[in-house]
Structure 1
Amino acid sequence: MPDPAARTLALFGGTFDPVHLGHLRVAWEAAEFLEAEVRMMPANVPPHRPQPVSSAGQRVAMLQAALLGQSRLVLDDRELRREGPSYTVDTLIELRDEIGTDRPVILLVGADAWSGLADWHRWKDLFELAHIGVLTRAGHQARESSSLSAHASGRRTEVVADLAQAPAGRIIDIQVSALEISATRIRSDIAAGRVPRFLVPPALLDDESLLAPYRS
């Protein structure tokens, strides 16, 4: 039986404010494509986007409810337990201290995030700590700045097995479903008294307290 500690580990971050079916479907497709465990990592203080409406505890409760009944997607709340901006490089350094330098780790980023990666804190260090999985929709291609394109040169692969040959440093595109679901729209709908059925996991609708932060 394979050693769980040797299994490829993927990280999928976001505010998850609230977590919705678009988040979960993309993470699930990446997990199946990569044959990896995917850790859902809610950000405490996201550096590149507005701050969450709901609290850290409320977002943890929503994710816990959403992830029940399966084991491929798991919650990792380390960024919520760390003060200050949730810089991905700090998260990866902390994770490497825990799991060592040999296990393959894949940082999952959306196409928009990939396009702006060169603006991230210590972005070049990310490639020393993890592979990058770029989540793309069919018919769309992520843009790259000249500095990112130069740094990415020679790192791309289309073969998942290549990612197991090294702990970090490669780039792979992962085609995912184009579910146009907006957390902003969900919050607006809830505030207006509408029910976001078929947009959020049923567990969030079963417990009225979970979506309470968005009700006006």
Structure 2
Amino acid sequence: MPQTTIKPLAIFGGTFDPVHLGHLSVAWEASELLDAEVRLMPASVPPHRAPPMASAVQRVAMLRAALQGQSRLTLDTRELERSGPSYTIDTLIELRAEQGERPLVLLIGADAFAGLPGWHRWRELFEVAHIGVLSRPGVEAGFPDELQQVVANRRVQHAAALRHTGAGKLIELAVTPLEISATRIRELLVEGRDPRYLLPEGLFDDPGLLAPYRR
């Protein structure tokens, strides 16, 4: 693929059930480190976990409220508009067709990345995107041997290196994790409690946004 210096597009997926400050802070920091647009992409039917408690429409409404007032993080709902499981490779192939030579970066946590060999058509991910592994500052992630062999010659140290090609590289991004659990937030809401400062302020502006988790 020819060299390019176009600003990268990074994808940060998840169920966002609900979206919380841990999601947003990590996505924002990755955007700064990569100097990239980051799209939050809610999954429809996640292949590796139980279905979300909130519906697709409800999760999109929460994300829209959470993302108000800034332009660095945006929303992409394409996986909700497809039927069947949300396979990352299908999404990235679709984005590659749309974006041409623009660098694409799949953002993924270190723990999830270690399980990449269990993903659908995982080796093909590097053909259509770079991968940005979100890790804790000062902590080097450990990956299984099969994965180490695949990424050995793909590692880069500096985000600028991702701009020279559209796909195929791996970069570790040291981000500051906020230990916030969506499961715990749902429990608090079911109990009738108010998880303020765990959720973005916009979710409290409309009481109906958190209704899926209230009794």
**Which residue is 1:112 aligned to?**
111
SS of residue paired to 1:210: helix
Instruction: Confirm whether residue 158 of structure 1 aligns to residue 149 of structure 2.
Output: no
Deviations, residues 186-207 of structure 1 (Å, cap 9, x unaligned): 0000000110100000110111
Deviations, residues 126-179 of structure 1 (Å, cap 9, x unaligned): 000000000001243322111111000111111111000110001001011121
Q: Is the 8 A contact 1:114 1:142 kept in 2?
A: no
**Which residue is 1:48 aligned to?**
48
Q: Is the 8 A contact 2:12 2:27 kept in 1?
A: yes
Q: Is the 8 A contact 1:56 1:80 kept in 2?
A: yes
SS of residue paired to 1:71: coil
- Aligned-residue offset at 1:51: 1.0
Deviations, residues 1-29 of structure 1 (Å, cap 9, x unaligned): xxxx9321000000000000000000000
**Which residue is 1:121 aligned to?**
120
Q: How many residues align?
A: 211
SS of residue paired to 2:135: strand
Higher alpha-carbon deviation: 12-21 or 138-147: 138-147
Q: Is the 8 A contact 2:109 2:134 kept in 1?
A: yes
- Aligned-residue offset at 1:40: 0.2
SS of residue paired to 1:80: helix
TM-score in terms of structure 2 length: 0.96
**Which residue is 1:18 aligned to?**
18
What is the root-mean-square deviation of aligned Cα atoms in Å? 1.0
Deviations, residues 102-147 of structure 1 (Å, cap 9, x unaligned): 1100000001111100110000000000000000012433221111
Q: Is the 8 A contact 2:18 2:62 kept in 1?
A: yes
CA distance in 2, matches of 1:140, 1:45: 32
SS of residue paired to 2:174: strand
CA distance in 2, matches of 1:120, 1:34: 25
TM-score in terms of structure 1 length: 0.96
**Which residue is 1:201 aligned to?**
200
CA distance in 1, matches of 2:136, 2:144: 19
CA distance in 2, matches of 1:42, 1:77: 6
**Which residue is 2:89 aligned to?**
89
Unpaired runs of at least 5, structure 2: none
Q: Is the 8 A contact 1:111 1:141 kept in 2?
A: no
Higher relative contact order (CA 8 A, sep 6+): 2
Instruction: Confirm whether residue 130 of structure 1 aligns to residue 129 of structure 2.
Output: yes
Q: How does 1:63-82 map to 2 (within 5 A)?
A: 63-82=63-82
SS of residue paired to 1:209: helix
Q: How does 1:171-186 map to 2 (within 5 A)?
A: 171-186=170-185
Q: Is the 8 A contact 1:138 1:176 kept in 2?
A: yes
SS of residue paired to 1:156: coil
Identity %: 62
State the 4+ residue runs in structure 1 displaced beyond 6 angstroms: none
